[in-house]
Structure 1
Amino acid sequence: MKKIIIGSLATTLLVSGAIGIHAYAQEDDGKLESKQLTGITKTLISEKEAIAIAKKQVNGDVIKIELDEDDNRYEYELDIRTAKEDYDITIDATTGKVLEQKLDDDRYDGDDRKALTKSPSGKSLITKNEAIAIAKKQVNGDVIEIELDEDDNRYEYEMELRTKNGEADITIDATTGEVLELDLDDDDN
């Protein structure tokens, strides 16, 4: 009886070890990582491969790339900036297929400000450039994302800045210019 248990245990360990080595080898051969999806191990394309695929669609600078899981499917979401416009591109991280490409209308160039200049209370809103200047007084960095958002009947600029130590998120009241929230995410922690 002991021989059967020891034999079964040894077989289980051997199979488990082989699976672990297989997953490690996949990671080592240039792929981003190996993920377990509904019991099946799938190899994902690397960030570099996703960027190359996206740049075939839109020739510009990649300003953001994220790997997300959506309905048991891994996807790369990329933001690409050209001289005139920003684009959002979604790529299947397993197949490399472009799932979506759309023009991003959140760029902070000020052109879209004509549509909204007053708060619900009738007060004038500060411009995106004014909000950026306020943010840069608080944090030394480059704005990588800005959005005008309504929260509890108040308009706010929500910004993400890249600093030399990581990233910072800042929220500014779009009517008063007051800094409502500042969150520093440094890479050292």
Structure 2
Amino acid sequence: MKINKAIIIALGLVVICGVGVSYSLVKDDKAEYLTKDQAKNIILEKVPDGKILEFSYDNENNSPKYESEIVKDTMKYQVDVDAETGKIINFEQEVLKDQNNGKTSDKLISEDKAMDIMINKVPKATVQKFNLDKDGKNVEYEGVLTKADTKYEITVDAKTGDIKEFSHEQIKVKDTKADKDNQYGDIEIND
């Protein structure tokens, strides 16, 4: 009788824990993120009258955030905003050596247009990372997208909107089928 009671209590605890874990997973899936405009407003509140040179969304390691680079007067700032809470999670500043930083004579396509080009290339994909890269002589939008078990890397020319680079690779997913088939765990039999 005591064994039956112990088994019932153990099963009850397993069910309660399972419900709790399921709730937390569902709750996390429904998290709402800041829009790009909301994040930019938070950044510009931190650096009033600043000019945003680079702005990107990054969701690596399931830590969604907006990253930015801003200039104001003789200073350059890096401000990162948590996409879930709106809190500033990184703030760095440095004195500019070259007063011509950030000035470009050519008009660039918008971030929204570049993201649309990427999503049209891989419909129904999720953007994991997106940024404007001004390194080197070419200005490009770079994006990392995922769809099912495939990761896509796309580079779009920021002046023309042409896709410059496109690659994809299979994402390795942990095989949990063996874990599901073995619902009782490892069983050892002693003779």
Is the pair's TM-score, using the shorter chain for normalization, greater than 0.5?
A: no
User: TM-score scaled to structure 1, two decimals?
Assistant: 0.41
User: Which one scores higher on RCO, CA 8 angstroms, separation ≥ 6?
Assistant: 2
